[in-house]
Amino acid sequence: MPKLAKALEDVLTNLNNEPVVVEFEKMRTLVKNDTFLIKTEAQLKMLQQKMTQNVLDKALHATLKAEYESVKKAYDEHPYVINYNALLNDVNELLHTIKTIIE
């Protein structure tokens, strides 16, 4: 069992040193700490709640939905979010490749 534990430790170390994983971690930190993105996420959650609370008032619901879509678009088009999502896809692809090799 010690050989397996050592091999897993080596895989994790190498994975954490992989350039795409390093860049992903940097981008995740930027997204997590960006003031605009933090405020926008809170605004999106608030708008979701208001939409749910006002689902029977079609006019208000439509207005809230339009505002939500506008805020969501601004969030999704932020350069940090675009880069984060691209790197997330790259990391997932790398993990999928590793899983395929192991199997």
Taking residues 3-24, what's their average pLDDT? 89
Indicate whether 97 belongs to any domain: yes
Question: Would residue 32 count as lying in a domain?
Answer: yes
pLDDT in tens, 37-73: 999 999 999 999 999 999 999 999 999 999 999 999 9
60 lies in which domain range? Answer: 20-102
CATH of the domain at 74: 1.20.1500.10
Round to the nearest angstrom and report the end-to-end CA distance of the chain.
19
- Given a contact cutoff of 8 angstroms between Cβ atoms, the answer to whether 32 and 15 are in contact is no
The encoded tokens of residue 68 equal 């939500």
Residue 61, in any domain of the structure: yes
Long-range contacts (CB closer than 8 Å, 24 or more residues apart) made by 15-21:
15/94, 15/98, 18/94, 20/87, 20/90, 20/91, 20/94, 21/91, 21/94
